[in-house]
Amino acid sequence: MIRVVVVDDDFMVARVHSGYVARTPGFEVVGVAHTGADALRAVRELQPDLVLLDVYLPDLDGIGVLRELRARGDEAVDIIVITAATDVDTVRGAMRGGVLHYLIKPFTYDALRDQLARFAALHTKLNQLAEAGQADVDQVFGARSPRTPALPKGLTTQTAGLVERVLRERPEGVSASECADLTRLARVSARRYLEHFVTAGKADVHLEYGGAGRPKRRYVWLG
């Protein structure tokens, strides 16, 4: 089992995120912290494999926690930042601290599950290697990078998550019109999100021919 510490100043949010981790096979929550000091103590005492780290904490903020962990030699623990902070300085600080990923609140369970699955694959890969060749290194560092590029201007994370859920729940695929009906978006907006996932390599599109007129584009989640 991959041992996880959840850090968030909001008790209810910490409970939700802990629930997300608990329902993901291969992961267990071994500790929850609501302050920076408690987070540092939990990592020292529990020796987790992974920390889900909030930035807005009442004492030492998450980037400060990250710097303290690295300064005292806690290189064995990996970090995924989970926060509402969107300022560039915070993102840059997280990158310099070597975090695996940066999830902006609010996010869906699917978004966190994808990152946990990626971490599990990375964890397994490294544990199996005695030494790494270039192909192994490329695979490891590829797993550290997010697969989905930034959303184009005008698209939002929340709505992208809604469209993603529709795609995941319908393995047979959906058309832009069907997606619009299910999400209550305008058809043109639904299609923009669907095409974004195709561009990102997260979905595929098939043409359905039948009757007169143009073929229908059906989008299928690849995940």
Annotated domain spans of the chain: 2-144, 157-221
In the block, which residue shows the tokens 């408690």? Answer: 38
Per-residue pLDDT reduced to its tens digit, 63-116: 999 999 989 887 679 999 999 988 889 999 998 888 988 998 888 888 898 888
Instruction: Using pLDDT thresholds of 50, 70 and 90, give the confidence band for residue 147.
Output: very low
Residue pointed to by tokens 């997300």: 20
pLDDT mean over 45-73:
94
pLDDT of residue 145: 47
CATH code matching the domain that covers 2-144, chosen among 3.40.50.2300, 3.90.1170.50, 3.40.50.1370, 3.40.50.720: 3.40.50.2300
Interval 38-56 mean pLDDT: 96
Q: What is the DSSP letter of 50?
A: E
CA-CA distance, 46 to 176, in Å (whole number)? 48
CA distances, 61 to each of 5, 29, 202 (Å): 16, 21, 33
Q: Give me the long-range contacts of 207-213 (CB less than 8 A, separation at least 24).
A: none
Return the beta strands (E) in 95-199 as ranges. 101-104, 174-175
Question: Encoding tokens for residue 185?
Answer: 């978006």
Q: What pLDDT shows up at residue 193?
A: 93
Q: Are strands 174-175 and 216-221 parallel, antiparallel or unpaired?
A: antiparallel
| Listed range (31-40, 111-120, 138-147) with the worst mean pLDDT | 138-147
What's residue 210's pLDDT?
Answer: 66
Q: Determine the average pLDDT of the residues in 58-63.
A: 94
- With left for phi above 0 and alpha for psi between -120 and 50, is residue 148 left, alpha or beta? beta
Closest CA to 219 of 207, 141, 210, 211: 207
Please indicate whether residue 177 or residue 223 has the higher confidence score (pLDDT). Answer: 177
What is the third-level CATH fold of 157-221? Arc Repressor Mutant, subunit A (1.10.10)
| DSSP secondary structure string for all residues of 169-183 | H-TT-EEHHHHHHHH
